[in-house]
Structure 1
């Protein structure tokens, strides 16, 4: 009996855009935030990389449905 079930193709333009936005956010943190923060600057990631974060969150919301439960973040 063949039990192999082909998976869903997860490579699509929408997920590629999300991956690129994620990479842009990570690059922004590495290039624009970390150096200044490690030098002692009083700033937050949101001050420096808000545009990249917003774009990433928008694309994430388009690609994945919201979780059916609340995450415990404490």
Structure 2
């Protein structure tokens, strides 16, 4: 299994702060496995992806195996 960590607004769209999805996953597989509203939101170029703590340069570089953690990161807002 892969743990998907959802932060900020993405957690609201996913309905929980984490999801467990079957391994392995690539970018297309992740989008297909997510709830529709969340899948649409992660396509936005402002949302980033990290695998096991490493930020990906391109979402299409996603390749995660069993035991991996994928973090879906919304843009940071500040004040």
TM-score (norm 1): 0.26
- Greater RCO, 1 or 2 (C-alpha within 8 Å, sep 6+): 2
Greater share of helix:
1
TM-score normalised according to structure 2 size: 0.25
